A and B are shown apart, each in its own frame.
Chain A
Amino acid sequence: MPRILVCYKWVLDEQDIKIVSLGLSLDVSRAKYKISDYDKNAIEEAVRIVEKNGGSVEAISFGTSLKQSFKDVLSRGVDKVYAIDSSIAENADAYVTANVLAAAIRKIGPYDLILCADGSSDVYNQQIGSRLSALLGLPGITSVSQINCEGDRISATRKLGDCTEVVHIKGQAVISVLPEINSVRIPTMKQVLAAAKKPSEEIKIDALGLSDAELLPKVTKVSVKGFVMNRKNIVFKDANQKDNVSKLVASLAKEGLLKERG
């Protein structure tokens, strides 16, 4: 019966981020936090494995304002959540994040299976799973679209662009899953209510025994500039679609985009 840990990131919802036209800076003042999109698939996969094989699912995150995330995470079938809430997360790069998560996992582990998603929706580094496997000395498998667990053996199917590959692992592993591995179920009312009673535990970053150097990012941002789109934005929205269509066709003809007649 596997003991599973899912790593999830609590990120700003990019749909709420606005680009300030002056200076192209990002306005995040109206942005809410969410569970990084693909991490929901990682949680879902852990829960499905446990539904089939028994075992337990725990989740861990390194970030800020993590308390707000507990209800959502726990209502998705996770039994317990760990939080490393620290302002250090604000400027952390993959090096620091992996150091912190690996140290915390050494403390609360071992786990039979550690799941990450393919990439986080804010930085999409696609690194944490691989880094964790290296730091923890465990097999690390990425781009996984299917997992089968049997006893202490795991088979993972990877999607690698030009081929698929099946990897058999004996013992513990860190696996990064693709979003197409499953479709995420919406928590039921019962699950949402039960979430309030589930345990959460805060892990203090100071208690992890990491040196200052291990918490100092190797990658630092010099600037972040919003991408601006300068488009004509001519939108036809008459009730009469025939009119709209002829206006559009006329515009496309002017742009020289209609098929040549031969």
Chain B
Amino acid sequence: MPGILIYSDNITLTKQLITAGLLLKEKMNQPVYVILTGEQDLTGIANTAADEVFVLKGSNPWPESYADAIANFASTEQISAGLFGGTPRGKDIAAKVAAKLGAGLVTEAQSVEFDDGCLLTTRLLYGGLAVATEEVKLPALATIAPKTFEEAGSSDKQTEVITIEAANELNQITIGETCPVVREGVELSAANRIVSVGRGVGKKEDLSMIGELAQAFDAEIGCTRGIAEDYHWLPVERYIGISGQKVKPDMYFGVGVSGQVQHLAGMRESKVIVAIDMNENAPIFEAADYGIVGDLYEVVPLLIEALKS
């Protein structure tokens, strides 16, 4: 029966998607089907207000190997909307499912509504320069980033859990070792103040100076993508932007950050934005409340001194 499908390889995100699914249900009048795969933990799923819970069980533990089975489920049930968790695995699975269904898929939808027989979604374009409102023909799929919706609460009802056998053997692919990425556990999105480093800082050693500045403000350190992904000077969970952390602290202070739109998209909702850059025309100044044009190696020590006194 037509319905709204929910899937994420991350169960916390599944609960957030259920909230989005239930909102769609109000207008679409269709049941919300939650799919879990393999050994995913059911706790807290069956007692949400979702209508049905299906567990796809196959012999291959790799989440991506369920793409075919999810697509089969979607076409058998003639689902009209599918919401997928926007993790790297989820985006891959969603795109494979979309291709198999011949369906449209909106990546990182910020809002999803049902309107006039279509899904109406919003998302960012050009690295965050613009917001696009798009119309998707049914069956319509979307991926949704973590924390876009609150987790669904529990209800009194206990949904029956139906297990479906899935053939998910893959002949050409074997999974080798997996390695957890050690995280420092810093939750940048919770920081009140952030001093953010860009490639204007010439050497890794100079980060100690930025650390001093951060301390003088009682701030956490963030950075641009290149500092984390190309230079590996700081852990990836410290980089801010459209593909990194989204932050809205009371103060964002960029040092040697040019302010390309992909970075701005992650911090432009900060309350006050401050920047130091030696290029007067750097786009960061258009996005800033206060700025100093100058060499950070001259300005930052002066600033640390002034803040200390």
Chain A residues engaging chain B, CB cutoff 8 angstroms: 12, 14-15, 17, 19, 26, 93-95, 98, 119, 121-135, 139-143, 155, 158-171, 173, 178-180, 183, 217-227, 229, 231-237, 241-242, 244-246, 248-249, 251-252, 255, 257-260
Contacts and interface: CB of A to CB of B under 8 A. Distances in A.
Contact of B261 (A14, A142, A180, A246): A14
A147 to B, nearest CB: 13
Given A161-B87, A167-B173, A242-B302, A221 B99 contact: no
A260 B307 CA distance: 11
Interface string B275-304: 000001000011111111110001100110
Contacts of B280: 235, 237
Contacts of A166: 175-178
Contacts of B103: 95, 218
Contact of B134 (A130, A222, A246): A222
B208 interface: no
B147 interface: no
18 contacts: A26-B126, A124-B127, A127-B105, A130-B96, A143-B88, A160-B88, A166-B175, A218-B137, A218-B140, A219-B104, A219-B105, A221-B135, A222-B133, A223-B133, A224-B132, A225-B133, A227-B268, A244-B294
B75 interface: no
Given A158-B88, A218-B140, A223-B133, 11 more contacts: A19-B130, A122-B125, A139-B170, A165-B179, A167-B176, A227-B265, A235-B280, A237-B280, A241-B299, A249-B307, A257-B251
B182 to A, nearest CB: 10
A226 B286 CA distance: 15
Contact of B290 (A19, A95, A180, A232): A232
Contact of A155 (B176, B216, B217): B176
Contact of A245 (B105, B129, B299): B299
Contacts of A128: 95
B127 A235 contact: no
Main secondary structure, interface of A, reads mixed
A123 B125 contact: yes
A226 B129 contact: yes
Given A160-B89, A229-B268, A241-B294, A165 B250 contact: no
Contact of A219 (B136, B172, B272): B136
Given A124-B242, A245-B299, A252-B274, A223 B288 contact: no
Interface in B189-218: 193, 216-218
B175 A167 contact: yes
Interface in B95-140: 95-96, 98-100, 102-108, 120, 124-137, 140
Contact of B273 (A155, A231, A259): A231
A14 B137 contact: no
Nearest to B273: A231
Contacts of B102: 95, 218
